Amino acid sequence: MPEFTALTPDALLELVAGRAGALRGYAVVAVDGADAAGPMTVADGVTELLRSRGRPAEVVSLHDFVRPASVRLEYDRDSEFTYRTAWFDYAAVNREVLKPLRDGGRYLPALWNEQTDRSARARIRTAAEGTVLFVAGPMLLGRGLDFDLTVSLRMSEGALRRRTDPEQAFTVDGLLEYQREHTERPDILVAWDHPDRPAVQAG
């Protein structure tokens, strides 16, 4: 098993940008991590680096692909099982983002507005040739999604419980169970208990 290598936050962004930038054609990168890990922040940082080097890059948030509240909250508003199994519409990510991007360079940036619980009414976008599209959010791996590169921001139970918003505390058990169930190794595994001092295993 490769050992973890400590590096700075900027060096982590450089590492991911280097791996993502080497991908050919339209490419999709997963930045997997609990909300407390800030996967969107990492994805946005890498996107800025790639754009500064002339490579088109975009970001899609998994939270724009939640299921309607009638599905998410059908049984229990604070159910870790529902959060883990029914909160996010991974099939829609595949159908509306990954497949159309690869097939024709088009994708839907958002499907459902989590705050208003209504359709996001987003328009289909045409991606520039060679766009790297980042999908950022929780529990992305092991969902049958065909990513070209996977990055996982892994946090210990203690760090998750400390850094998760109290209103979202019910998600922690679901996230931990997901980690136990899905052992698929990402291309870049990041120890993320201390975002100012990350460490990586890179395959």
Give the strand pairing for 149-154 and 106-107: unpaired
Q: Once rounded to an integer, what is the mean pLDDT over residues 148-153?
A: 98
pLDDT > 80? residue 127: yes
Give the strand pairing for 125-126 and 106-107: antiparallel
Give the strand pairing for 188-191 and 199-202: antiparallel
pLDDT > 60? residue 174: yes
Domains of the chain, start order: 5-202 (3.40.50.300)
Query: What's residue 74's pLDDT?
Result: 73
* DSSP SS3 for 132: strand
| Span 66-120, pLDDT tens digits | 999 888 877 666 788 889 988 999 999 999 999 999 999 999 999 999 989 999 9
| Span 2-43, pLDDT tens digits | 689 999 999 999 999 999 999 999 999 999 999 999 999 999
The proportion of the chain whose per-residue pLDDT surpasses 70, expressed as a percent, equals 97
Distance between CA atoms of 149 and 48, rounded to whole angstroms? 17
pLDDT > 60? residue 1: no
pLDDT > 70? residue 64: yes
Query: What is each CA distance from 23 to 10, 16, 148, 179, 196, in whole angstroms?
Result: 20, 11, 8, 27, 27
- Characterise 105 by phi-psi region: left (phi > 0), alpha (psi -120 to 50), beta (else): left
